[in-house]
Structure 1
Amino acid sequence: MTAERTPRPTRSPPGHLLREAQHITRLAFPIVVSLAAAALIGVVDTVMVAPLGTLPLAAVSITTSALIIFYSALFGFVSATGVRMAEAFGKSNDQELLATTRVALFVALGVGTLGTLTMLVVRPALAWIGQPPEVLELLGGYWVSMSFLLIPFTVFYALKALFDAIDRPWIGVGLAFFAVGCNIPANYVLIHGVWGWPGLGLVGAGIASLVSQIASLVLAFVILGRWNARWDVASHFGFDWNELRLQLKEGSVISLGYLGEGAAYAVAGLMLGWFGAAALAAHQIVSAVSDVIYMVPLGISIAISIRVAQAIGANERERLRPIVLASLFVVVSWMSLVITGILLGRAPLAQGLSDDADVVALAVSMFLVIAAMQIADGVQGTMLGVFRGMTDNRIPVVITLFSYWVIALPVGYVLGFVMDWGPNGVWIGYGSGLGLAAAALTYRFFSRV
């Protein structure tokens, strides 16, 4: 394997905290940038669909809310494979790393295909849960395109997990921006047309996103092929069925946790459809921005799972507590900056994405609620990354499922509809679940280590 090993840091806890914070920041920063670039595809869709009107923007919102569920579940499986790759890298075992990667790609293709089929099948359910019929009439082709995007999405992030695990996260940055670079011109041509051709409108946005993700995946395989030829291991050996069972076992648990979180977020978004198309459009504006913001805690979560898995693979468990303390310091610092940015930029962002006064007013107020959630969101995401790296997933998943489904959504419903707080009440309830999950997960780690 040609990737260079990161030098072992000092084991002295006091001096190690700053060193770990610096290392996690160096590892997390490119991961965050690459994830944010990937999320920018959704922002590009929002910006370029917005001129089509409120109803197409609401259709994007509904589709995005559903995609979050599938993205979350599929990313859970990818997270498990990333941890296994990081452990193999920590052991300096190239053959195990290659075997793990091959299994990971097999798993990603299988679960990605399952996700696509499921999303296509569940589309009729949108009418059953009270979404505006005038919006549902518009989203057919866009929904289908984004359903098929789940296959290249999952395989791509399995490869990206490999690049992150071997301390080469900047490769993911380049691939993610390559996808965005493809998406912008493809969106322009397919949505609005060119040279007299009128374009495909909303459907064109979905096709552009699919084509861009496939292009990025092809480039990732080109890079993998060059490395695979240089790995100092046998190029052919049997499929590792034990590794497959392990990845499916841990991946299913992590996937359940991500699915529970993503589904809760999506349900909160779909609840806004009960307030009408304007609330959905405002939600899409806020989601397009908050999805990019969320890449910060998600990137730190991935970075810390890698650091924890590498430490365990190297049999250096004494490094865990300093790694976690440093990670919490990094994520709280980052999210504090994010809060400041939201507070300063909420009005220009809303006004730049819609000229509907009702939509803008709702989006501006939603941004305030989202800002209040940021630190709790960052902490709970970081702690979930810690437990993933430790392959300790079951109890953390139970904690998050309870926080979202027993606390967040019921409280959001009561505040939004019973107490008539409107869309903001739904998000305040969601924030209460985030806070509970952050506190419970943090307590569990420090009470055990």
Structure 2
Amino acid sequence: MTHVRLSQQPRPSWSAILKEARYLARLALPIVISLAAAALIGVVDTVMVAPLGTLPLAAVSITASVLIIFYSALYGFVSAIGVRMAEAFGKTSERGLASATSAGLIVSLVVGVVGAAAMICLKPALSLIGQPPEVVSLIGGYWIAMSLLLVPFTIFYALKALFDAMNRPWIGVGLAFLAVGFNIPSNYVLIHGVAGWPGLGLVGAGIASLLSQMVPLIVAFLILRAWRKKKGFLKAAGFDWSEVKAQIKEGFIISVGYLGEGAAYAVAGLMLGWFSAAALAAHQIVSAVSDVIYMVPLGVSIAISIRVAQAIGADETERLKPIVLASLLVVVGWMAVVVSGILIGRAPLANSLSDDPKVVSLAISMFLVIAAMQIADGVQGTMLGAFRGMMDNHVPVAITLIAYWLFALPLGYALGFWLGFGPNGVWIGYGSGLSLAAIALTYRFFSKNR
């Protein structure tokens, strides 16, 4: 893909920005809903595991902290697949779209299997990085089930990227809610049992989540099969090794960026295990809620990468700046609303998800810190989406790695452990890194258009 020089583009009018904002909102809304529904699976796990006690909830927190590393890395490959699909769709190239889809399914299967195997192999390391032994001893089967989930997760989101690239994001909405609808009863039965059967406890939650990811994947393949029979889709191109290599090359770069961000988030979460199991449990409560909230800026980020790739594929680069400005308008407005909601609802949310006074107290204070970083988080995610759509990934990835690993985590450690801020100090440092990344990425984009 040819990189675009923004300095060659005219200054966008407000009418162009608002037009793009409306189109972006129509595309982002179903993407956001589907992502929020997917995040609800984590909320369901948290709610249904919470009655088992603080230690199982802390075990979910540790697993989720490591799982986010693999989600992030694998989603980097999915992002590259989606951008290639969107560019082909923008060119109205049926052969190119079919080629990108076939290659994407191969890439997603391979990287998903590698990710699952790697996470399973990492389990013994938990006891070596200072996590509470009484918590690690509970993880076992739950860890394995959540590791295996990475395979259907990656393949499903590659197919969802196809639906989004073709401007059919509502298919993803239906499939995401199908997963949630299956997850709730399967969680209840497998965790707590039914008809005299005691259930599997924490392991049951992992199996329920794995099954819940398999169901929408099967339905997505059935949809694709129906398209193939009706429209001859995927018959327009055979295996294209050059497309596979292109997706792996760009996907690896994006994956490094996602991995850097996800791993930094995970390390911040694991740092809390050095304080107490209560800190881990509080972190899981806050993360379960903030993960759902973040689906809006993440959805906008995905939508902007699709819009940018479609515009470049259609050779309409004059739309790039209006797309970016419209995205920032949408995401900043949303995150401002979110901050207000967190400030009002933090105590009821914490009390509804735990009856441990220590956990509740920590969660309430953590919600304040999370609220403070929302706008920066939304802006940096949106700008990264714009760069992904342009296949301009090297410098943005470097910016985020520096912001998280050389600034955010050292600052968080210093505030949390050396200066006595405790668990909140870790998150203050992480939020500071988000702010640095947001400022640097935005400056880089618009400095090309002076």
TM range (shorter): over 0.9
Per the alignment, residue 55 of structure 1 pairs with 55
Distance 2:392 2:366 in 1: 35
Which of 299-308 and 225-234 deviates more? 225-234
* 1:180 corresponding residue in structure 2: 180
1:45 lines up with 2:18 in the alignment: no
- Compute the displacement of 1:14 (Å): 3.0
For 2:355, the equivalent position in structure 1 comes to 355
Give the match for residue 230 of structure 1. Answer: 230
1:251 offset after TM fit, Å? 0.1
- 1:370 — aligned with what? 370
Distance 1:232 1:188, change over 3 A: closer
Following superposition, the deviation at residue 228 of structure 1 comes to: 1.9
Q: Provide the residue aligned with 1:4 in structure 2.
A: none
**SS of residue matched to 1:355:** coil
The alpha-carbon deviation at position 233 of structure 1 amounts to 6.0
Matched with 2:119 is 119
1:134-163 alpha-carbon deviations (Å, 9 max, x no partner): 000101010000000000000000000001
1:252 aligns with 2:214: no
- Percent identity reads 73
CA distance in structure 1 between the aligned counterparts of 2:234 and 2:181, rounded to whole angstroms: 37
- Describe the shift of the 1:179–1:150 C-alpha distance in structure 2 as closer, same or farther (beyond 3 A): same
Matches within 5 A, 1:376-395: 376-395=376-395
Give 2:199's aligned residue: 199
Task: Quote the residue 2:304 is aligned against.
Answer: 304
Cα distance in 2 between the residues matched to 1:237 and 1:31 = 28
Separation (CA, whole Å) in 2 of partners of 1:265 and 1:175: 28
Tell me, what secondary structure is at the counterpart of 1:139? helix
Q: Tell me the amino acid that sits aligned with residue 370 of structure 1.
A: I
Equivalent residue for 2:331? 331
Aligned partners of 2:15, 2:394: CA distance in 1, in Å? Answer: 33
What TM-score do the two structures reach when normalised by structure 1?
0.97
| CA shift digits 1:79-108 (9 cap, x unpaired) | 000000000110011111011001001000
Normalised to the residue count of structure 2, the TM-score between the two structures is: 0.96
> CA separation of 1:49/1:392 partners in 2, compared to 1, >3 Å: closer, same or farther?
same
Q: Which amino acid aligns with 1:283?
A: H
- Give the Cα–Cα distance (whole angstroms) in 1 for the partners of residues 232 and 61 of structure 2: 48
Which residue of structure 2 lines up, in the alignment, with residue 408 of structure 1?
408
Runs of 4+ residues deviating >4 angstroms: none
Report the Cα offset of residue 229 of structure 1: 2.2
Q: Secondary structure at the match of 1:275?
A: coil
Corresponding position of 1:8: none
Q: Deviations over 1:229-276 (max 9, x none)?
A: 233567264311111110000000000000000000000000000001
Q: 1:240 to 1:432 in 2, by over 3 A?
A: same
Find the aligned partners of 1:284 and 1:274 in 2 and give their Cα distance: 15
- Identify the residue that residue 69 of structure 2 maps to in structure 1: 69
Report the residue type matching 2:269 in the other structure: G
* Contact 2:409/2:430 (8 A) holds in 1: yes
Q: What is the aligned partner in structure 2 of residue 3 from structure 1?
A: none
Contact kept, 8 Å, 1:304 with 1:385, in 2: the verdict is yes
SS in 2 for 1:130: coil
Instruction: Kindly provide the CA deviation profile for residues 373-424 of structure 1, in whole angstroms up to 9, marking residues without a partner as x.
Output: 0000000000000000000000000000000000000000000000010000
* Distance in 1 of aligned mates of 2:374 and 2:235: 46
Superposed displacement of residue 183, structure 1: 0.3
- 1:289 maps to what in 2? 289
8 Å CA contact retained: 2:95, 2:236:
no
CA distance in 2 between counterparts of 1:239 and 1:106 reads: 10
CA distance in 2, matches of 1:65, 1:342: 22
Partner of 2:5: none
Q: Which residue of 2 aligns with 1:31?
A: 31
> 1:47 is matched by which residue type in structure 2?
V
CA distance in 1, matches of 2:126, 2:189: 29
CA contact (8 A) 1:297 1:378 kept: yes
Hey, what does 1:341 align to over in structure 2? 341
For 1:403 and 1:41, locate their aligned partners in 2 and report how far apart those are by CA, in whole Å.
Answer: 30
Asked if 1 retains the 8 angstrom alpha-carbon contact of 2:81 and 2:247, the reply is: yes
Rounded to whole Å, the distance in 1 between the matches of 2:172 and 2:343 is 30
Report the 3-state secondary structure (helix = DSSP H, G, I; strand = E; otherwise coil) of the residue aligned with 2:294: helix
Q: Which residue matches 1:6?
A: none
Q: Aligned partners of 2:377 and 2:256: how far apart in 1?
A: 18
Give the partner amino acid of 1:242: S
What is the Cα deviation at residue 13 of structure 1? 3.0
Query: Is the partner of 1:267 in helix, strand or coil?
Result: helix
- Is residue 170 of structure 2 the alignment partner of residue 170 of structure 1? yes
Local SS of the residue matching 1:238: coil
Stretch moving more, 228-237 or 114-123: 228-237
* Contact in 1 for aligned 2:187/2:204 (Cα 8 Å): yes
The 1:60–1:15 alpha-carbon spacing in structure 2 relative to 1, beyond 3 Å, is same
User: Which consecutive unaligned segments of at least 5 residues does structure 1 have?
Assistant: 1-10
> How many correspondences in the alignment?
439
The verdict on how the C-alpha distance between 1:236 and 1:307 changes in structure 2, with shifts beyond 3 A counting, is closer
Q: Is the 8 A contact 1:94 1:232 kept in 2?
A: no
1:269-295 CA-to-partner distances (Å, cap 9, x unmatched) read 000000010000000000000111111
For 1:132, the equivalent position in structure 2 comes to: 132
How far 1:47 moved relative to its partner?
0.1
Native 8 Å contact 2:102 2:234 kept in 1: no
Code of the residue aligned with 1:238 in structure 2: it is: G
Q: Give structure 2 stretches of 5+ with no counterpart.
A: 1-10
In 1, Cα distance between equivalents of 2:221 and 2:179: 14
What letter corresponds to residue 249 of structure 1 in structure 2? K
Distance in 1, matches of 2:53 and 2:164, equals 39
Whether the 8 Å CA contact 1:94–1:231 is kept in 2: the answer is no
Equivalent position of 2:107 in the other structure: 107
